[in-house]
Amino acid sequence: MTIVVLVLAYLIGSIPSGLIIGKLFYKTDIRQHGSGNLGGTNTFRILGKKAGMIVTLMDILKGTLATVLPLLLGVEIHPLLAGVFAVLGHMYPIFAGFKGGKAVATSGGLILGYVPLMFIMVLAIFFICLYITKYVSLSSILTAVSALIYTIIIRDIPLIIVVSVLAIFIIYRHRANLGRIKNGTEPKIKWLSKKRVD
């Protein structure tokens, strides 16, 4: 039954939210635009705020659902393990040629399902970093590092291990973004910028 739960968690994570929303409502395959990524950030850039928010929420809930799956099915398996399989599914989705997102939203969903208070904290940190830097990629990395520091403070060993792995995933998946930030070519978000009033 453990294998069934892990497979289900991976399949849940593999649901390509960006691809579904793009094709179903916008007749657009976002893999052919922008960064080619299936995550929320590229959806925001290509399809706009509404689609971006929906895709991000769907990606978060994938991680949350997978994390609580062992409890829902009554299977004795650590919920974090199921959550990690959902993150793997999000990054390497079987339903989208194994080319998915960068693990940020689904990792957040894992945290939401395991430590809701921590999710609120990391969400606040993400938006603070985003407001200051205007870089989604840098904000994601800083949030992952902050989450790791928090797990060390609360001394939850399984959570420390999982968040460490997720932080490595997130940093690795954003390595190209870091290069673009260094070169000054990484696009900044525009929807948090203050509008000028003439």
Tens place of pLDDT per residue across the chain (198 aa):
899 999 999 999 999 999 999 999 999 999 999 888 899 999 998 999 999 999 999 999 999 999 999 999 999 999 999 999 999 999 999 999 999 999 999 999 999 999 999 999 999 999 999 999 999 999 999 999 999 999 999 999 999 999 999 999 999 999 999 999 999 999 898 766 554 443
In the chain, where are the structural domains located?
2-183
Global pTM? 0.92
For residue 166, the number of C-alpha atoms closer than 13 Å in the C-beta half-sphere is 34
Q: Output the pLDDT for position 35.
A: 85
Q: Output the pLDDT for position 194.
A: 52
Please give the DSSP secondary-structure letter assigned to residue 92.
S
Interatomic CA distance for residues 17 and 57, integer angstroms: 9
The tokens of 117 are what? 């208070």
